[in-house]
Structures are given as structure tokens and as C-alpha cells.
Amino acid sequence: MSEADDEKRKSDDRRPPRKDSGKRPFTPRRDSTSRPDRTGQRPERSGQRPERSGPRPDRAGQRPERSGQRPDRGGDRPDRGGRPSSGGPNERRLWTKDGKPARNDSSASRFERPPLTEEELRARELRAVRPRHDDPLIPDDVTPRDLDKIARNELKTLNKENADEVARHLVMAGRLIEENPEQAHQHAVSASRRAGRIGVVRETLAITAYATGDFALALRELRTYRRISGSNEQLALMIDSERGIGRPDRALEVGRSVERSTLSVPSQVAVAIAMSGARLDLGQPDAALTELEIPQLNPDVAYSYSPELFDAYAEVLDELGQDDEAARWRERAERADAALNGDTDGDDTIEVFEEMDDEDDESVPTEEG
């Protein structure tokens, strides 16, 4: 026996005796099959685990590359609640109302929109017009030829039936603008629903909206008219519409945005009157009087715009407290209006000028006595 074994035996002899005389009670050992062998493999489960179709990827390294290209899914995806699939070239693949492209969809640039129909174009132009509208009745004696020839020429892009109906509505709008502006506006709305891309139609809609006091609509329609026609002849009405909304400062900016010399003479006068009114809105009567001191302010001649110009000048003089001078200009306005209407019964002589539309643009004086 070795020394190590001898030392171990001696240490065992020094241990205190057990209470059970050193005998351990017998306990049956567990079934070897109920306890997994820790030194070997785990016992098999009751069901077999399905085998993988390919080799398991190495998690320590890179994922194995797939063999071949990703299969094309075109047209084979199942229907998802009515949404169209991404398949054929003519399909609507974006999931908005009517199949139109979503605003933030990255593939919207690849969506080819079908051309808009005439009805859709008309609806786009008339977003500012009331969606529900019943056409007012037109008397049988109203014909398309009652419309001004220049305005009728603008309607030639429409088919004959539609152009005739639009022309009749425009005629009624012109007839009713003074006595019944609301009814005139209804005719203008009807015309705009049929011919929203025609400049004279949008111009008429703006004028009738202004007459009814809808200055916001008038301003929008005037901007549309200017965009369609490229004309600034309704600049004065735009200024007054800004005033009607309560923005006299903005009205002055609009008036200064266009060079006066590019306008016709009647439009220049109308702009001067509108700018003067904006100055009065701001409490600037001296500046308002200066706006009206233009070459057309001539008491010895009368044009179609003279009565309104003279009367506006008299109103500003009243604001300045110059009552006598205001009374004289108001009398001149009445005389000019009477001369233009052929109603003169005094000894005073006033020259009435009619502006010609020919290339020379000469003025022909006629003497009224």
C-alpha cells in the first residue's frame, strides 16, 4: 500500500461515526431511460423534426448567396382587399381613390395617367364654383347672336350646341347685371360650368361675383381670367376686390404691379379711381386726390369715363372739406353724363369724344349745345 492510501485511510478513521451506524438508507435508482445521459446525445423527441431542404447557413460568417435571381412576382400575388396588384403595364397600381397616384408613393413617377376627359377638365377649372347648381331659365327670344361678336369668337373652340347655350347665358348675365345681380351671377355660373377655359366666361363670372358682393370669388376669377387671357384690363376690379376683402394696402400693391401705360385709357382711369378709393380707406385724402389728377381729368371734354372720374374727384374734395370746389366738379359730372346721353338743354357747350377702334385710334369730336 502506498503512502497516499495510508494517509487517506487514517483520515477516514478520524471521522465521527454516523448516527445510523454508518449505513446509508437504500433508495431505488432512477430509470436510466428517464434521465438524459449528460455525457452523450439528448434523447430523441416523440416527433421527428422536419429536415431542412438545404445546408444550414453558417451564423459565424456571411449568409450563403442565393443561386439565381429572385423570382418575378408579377401578376401572381393574391388580391389584398380590392387593391390592384403590380402587374400589367395598364393597371392602376396605386391605392388611392379612382386609382390615382398617391402623393408620397415612390413609384408614382412610373404611373401614366390617362388623358382627362372634357368633363374632368371642366371640373378642374371650376373648383371655386359651387358644386351644386341649377341652370336658370332663358327666355326663348334670347339668341346667341345677341352676344357681342368678339365674345362669340372666343366660343369657337366649343361645339356649336354648347357654344350657343353659353352665349345665351352670357347675354342674360349682361342684361340682369344692373337690376338683378344675383340672377345674373347664376347665369354666369352656368356658362362657366360649360366653358370654364374661356376667358370671357371667367371674366363675366368675376364681374357678377363682384356685383353680388362676393369679393373673394371675384378676385379668384379675375386672376384666372388674367392667366387665361394674359390681359390686365380688369386691374381696377382686382384693386376694388382687394378693398372689398378689407386689404387696402394689398390693393395699392396690386395697382402698382402693372405699368399704367400698358393699359387702355379707360382702364387707366378706372385704376386711378380704384387707387384713390384705397387711399381713402387708409385715411389718406391728400394722396387720394393726387391719384385722380391725371391728364383725363379735363372738364372741357367728356369721354365715357368722364362722369365717374369727375364724381370721384368731387368725393375726395368733400373729404378735404373743399365743399364749393366739390360742388363744381359734381356739376361737371352731371353735365358730362347728360352730354354723353344726348340730354342737354342749356347754352353750355361741351365736346363729346368717341374713341375709335381703328389702328389710328383717333378721337372724333361732336359738339353738343
The residue segments making up the domain with residue 193 are 117-231
| pLDDT value of position 360 | 44
Instruction: Measure the CA–CA gap between 320 and 234, rounded to whole angstroms.
Output: 29
Measured CA to CA, the distance from residue 191 to residue 189 in angstroms comes to 5
Please report which helix (H) or strand (E) contains residue 91, including its range: none
Q: Does 202 map to a domain?
A: yes
Dihedral sign, CA of 181, 183, 189, 194? negative
Contact 178, 189 (CB under 8 A): no
Q: How many domains does the chain have?
A: 1
For the stretch 198-218, pLDDT in tens is 999 999 999 999 999 999 999
Dihedral, CA of residue 95, residue 97, residue 100 and residue 103, to nearest 10: -70
More confident residue, 320 or 12: 320
Closest listed residue to residue 161, CA positions, set 140, 184, 144: 144
> In terms of C-beta density within 10 A (0-12 exposed, 13-18 middle, 19 or more buried), how is residue 231 classed?
middle
Here the CATH number for the domain that contains residue 212 is 1.25.40
The pLDDT score that the predictor gives to residue 363 is 43
Determine the average pLDDT of the residues in 30-35. 53
pLDDT higher than threshold 90 for residue 41:
no
Strands 350-355 and 301-302 turn out to be: parallel
* HSE-up (13 A, CA, CB side) for residue 200: 19
Residue 270 is assigned to a structural domain of this protein: no
Calculate ∠ Cα 87-90-96, nearest 5°. 80
216 assigned to some structural domain: yes
Residue type, 96: T
Tell me whether residue 152 is in a domain: yes
Residue 219 lies inside a defined structural domain of this protein: yes
pLDDT class of 134 with cuts at 50, 70, 90: confident
Residue with cell string 357678377 = 208
Lowest mean pLDDT among 53-67, 255-269, 320-334: 53-67
Residue that has been written with the C-alpha cell 369715363 in this structure: 305
How far apart (Å, rounded) are the C-alpha atoms in residues 294 and 309?
10
Q: Residue 264, Cβ neighbours under 10 Å: how many?
A: 13
Q: 7: helix, coil or strand?
A: helix
User: How many angstroms separate the CA atoms of 365 and 355, rounded?
Assistant: 9
User: Has residue 341 been placed in a domain?
Assistant: no
- pLDDT value of residue 130: 47
Position 340 scores a pLDDT of 87
Residues of the chain with pLDDT > 90: what percent?
A: 54
pLDDT in tens, 171-201: 999 999 999 999 999 999 999 999 999 999 9
Residue of 92, 91, 94 lying closest to 105 (CA atoms): 94
